[in-house]
Amino acid sequence: MNDPSKPNVDQLEDNFLDYLRFECGLARNTIDAYRQDLVLFREFCAEIEVEYPGDVDRRTIVLFLGWCRDRGQATSSLRRHLSAVRGFYRFLGTIEVTDSDPASEVLFAKDWQRLPHILNPTQVEALLHAPDEFGTTTRVRDRAILELLYSAGVRVSELCGLELSRIFTEERYLRVRGKGDKERIIPVAERSLEWISRYRTGERQVVCDRAKINPSIVFLSVRGRTLGRETVFRTVKKYAAAAGLPPISPHTLRHSYATHLLGGGAGLREVQELLGHADIRTTEIYTHVDRERVRQVHRDCHPRP
């Protein structure tokens, strides 16, 4: 039975999410992710019989992160869970529901960080050519998607929301809206633009004519709807399996894009800008991945290899 003297936790969470949306201007995807994080935190608290926000202490949050890790969640997910809980408790302190912030005392151990999985250039080529060998009626669209994920390093949400008017073919760049509705300009490979052009004048035009529509979004389903994130995930997994690669996600291509740029001599700041990272520490993880390049530099430059 709810204690009337205690705050309504559902209402507090809704107020927090409204604050993120209207006051902080966070993107809908980020807010939805935070909502799921808080639902998971509530589920854990129910298991250990912690009912109200004021009953949570530092140990509760540390146990929660360990509980999530034991369920096989990635380090990136654990970081976001902690970020959501921290934000929630800062909000509760602002509106004077609690007088302490247990989440501020929790530090995320650096040794929890896992290096991202990447593809080598040979594997990338195998994946990009998979639609030509194993594709169906959406072969050209799928090839254009894979090419764009790798040549521009876009997020899935950015790809799904890409509009025709934001592709500048002659100048060879895109304008995309990233996290927090921030816009950035990304150079894109000519080959990727060629596949997008083939899709626009071929498969996509057939879909639009059949559905009698003229949408602004580039990538469409076979029924003429905006392509969903889940479809992109399934597309990447399907062609990875067809190419004999281990299971990967669209983000694997983004990781590979960043790592190959650094391996080719790009600066960390430039890669940060291309990826749309607000904090360069997020980009720095790719410097740990490119060990082979460092070894090659040593072999080529040191007088005693």
Query: Residue 177 forms beta bridges with which residues?
Result: 183
Q: What is the CA radius of gyration of the chain?
A: 23
Q: Are 53 and 92 in contact (CB under 8 A)?
A: yes
Please name the fold of domain 121-297.
hpI Integrase; Chain A (1.10.443)
E strand or H helix that includes residue 14: helix 9-18
**SS3 (DSSP) at 172:** coil
Residue linked to tokens 């300009």: 185
pTM of the shown model: 0.65
Which pLDDT does position 6 carry in this prediction?
Answer: 59
Active site positions, annotated = 155, 179, 251, 254, 277, 286
**SS3 (DSSP) at 264:** coil
The reply to whether 9-112 and 121-297 are identical in fold is no
- Domain limits of the chain? 9-112, 121-297
Q: How far is CA 252 from CA 109, 139, 209, 237, 247, in A?
A: 24, 21, 34, 11, 10
Mean pLDDT per block of 10 residues along the chain (305 residues) reads: 61 92 88 93 89 85 86 84 92 85 74 70 96 90 97 95 96 90 92 97 96 96 94 95 93 93 90 89 72 57 60
Architecture of domain 9-112: Orthogonal Bundle (1.10)
259: its two tokens = 């790592």
As a three-state string, the secondary structure of 29-45 is HHHHHHHHHHHHHHHHH
